[in-house]
Amino acid sequence: MSQVLHTPPPTQAPAADDLSALAARHGLSVSGARPSLPEYVRQLWARRHFISAFATAKLTAQYSQAKLGQVWQVMTPLLNAAVYYFIFGVLLGTKHGVPDYIPFLVTGVFIWTFTQSSIMAGTRAISGNLGLVRALHFPRAALPISFCLQQLQQLLFSMAALVVILLCFGVPVAFSWLLALPALVLQFTFNAGVSMIMARMGARTPDIAQLMPFVLRTWMYVSGVMWSIDKLAAKDDLPQVVTVLLELNPAAVYIDLMRFALIDSFHAQSLPPHVWAAAVGWALLAGIGGFIYFWKAEETYGRG
């Protein structure tokens, strides 16, 4: 008698809907999924101590191999200012007609360096820290923000040297110096927003980091770091649209605000119209827009 073997029917795989319901019932979520915007802000705030400590550690390590150590935080922008003074102030004569030109120049160099360094560091914030991004779970916006905070800390070291320069060249201490605080807050917000935009772009296309020095150098030349936009705008042969673009350039806006705060010979007449409104507008546009733009790609960072 032949024996008939019965093969059991194949077990069906659970449906995707069943798995989703099972995961939801046990409080599971998709790994690396982008949180909602309010939740993302909450997570970022919860890691504020990490952001501060990371920025301080990066700043300390930046010049750890140099014999002069943290002195280079002040020496680097001062040397840049000395080079610009010789080339632009002496050879090209941009110092003529600008009172307190050396404080004018050094203030512009320090404030511009803050923006330049923040954006450059932000461009590499994700692509240059892939090991950290792939190993730990945290809001990725913490990286470009911490790099901007690092550059702010470096600027504050440089400001001590700037105060000495102002006093040496006869610029008196005034209550207007307090205006430097809101100006720096607005500039930091702007820098952080642009850094987050560049961090997302740099994560997708790392070659952007090679292009940025040329873009930033061009931006510096049109931002009035070494020359007075006010003096140039007074010329009749300059088209009005060019004057408006130069005056509303965000880098120039924050430089002018700092000069107005610190240098008594830089009067309100030298500022573009509605300069504080422009500073707030650029900070909100870049800060909020850059944050949302970065958040939308949160789940893609470190993959591929």
- The pLDDT tens digits of the residues spanning 63-103 come to 666 555 666 667 777 787 888 878 777 777 777 878 888 88
240 in any annotated domain: yes
129 in any annotated domain: yes
Measuring CA to CA, which residue among 220, 292, 230, 235 is closest to residue 256? 230
Measuring CA to CA, which residue among 245, 246, 243 is closest to residue 223? 246
Contact at 8 Å (CB) between 286 and 196?
no
* CA-angle at 280, arms to 275 and 281, nearest 5°: 95
Confidence check: pLDDT of 292 > 90: yes
Question: What is the pTM (predicted TM-score) of this model?
Answer: 0.85
pLDDT of residue 1: 46
130 versus 302: the higher-pLDDT residue is 130
122 in any annotated domain: yes
Residue 129's domain comprises 36-298
- 186: buried, middle or exposed (CB in 10 Å: 19+, 13-18, 0-12)? buried
Rounded mean pLDDT of 47-76? 77
Quick: pLDDT tens for 167-178.
988 888 889 999
Q: Give me 135's structure tokens.
A: 């190993």
18 in any annotated domain: no
179 versus 93: the higher-pLDDT residue is 179
pLDDT category, 147, cuts 50, 70, 90?
Answer: very high
- Whole-number percent of the chain with pLDDT over 90: 46
Contact at 8 Å (CB) between 225 and 109?
yes
21 versus 76: the higher-pLDDT residue is 76
Q: Which of 22-36, 89-103, 234-248 has the weakest average pLDDT? A: 22-36
Mean confidence (pLDDT) of the chain: 85
Q: What share of the chain is helix, strand, coil (3-state, %, to 5)?
A: 70, 0, 30
Rounded mean pLDDT of 255-272? 90
46 versus 25: the higher-pLDDT residue is 46
DSSP character at residue 206: T
- Whole-number percent of the chain with pLDDT over 70: 84
pLDDT of residue 244: 86
Sequence length of the chain is: 304
73 in any annotated domain: yes
Contact at 8 Å (CB) between 247 and 229?
yes
Rounded mean pLDDT of 9-29? 58
Rounded mean pLDDT of 230-254? 83
Measuring CA to CA, which residue among 58, 28, 214, 179 is closest to residue 121? 58
Residue whose entry in the numeric block shows the structure tokens 């790609």: 297
273 in any annotated domain: yes
17 in any annotated domain: no
pLDDT category, 27, cuts 50, 70, 90?
Answer: low
Q: Which of 54-63, 195-204, 262-271, 279-288 has the weakest average pLDDT? A: 54-63
Quick: pLDDT tens for 100-121.
888 899 899 999 999 999 999 9
225 in any annotated domain: yes
Q: Which of 176-180, 295-299, 300-304 has the weakest average pLDDT? A: 300-304
Rounded mean pLDDT of 291-298? 95
Domain count along the chain: 1
DSSP character at residue 20: H
Contact at 8 Å (CB) between 144 and 122?
yes
pLDDT of residue 10: 57
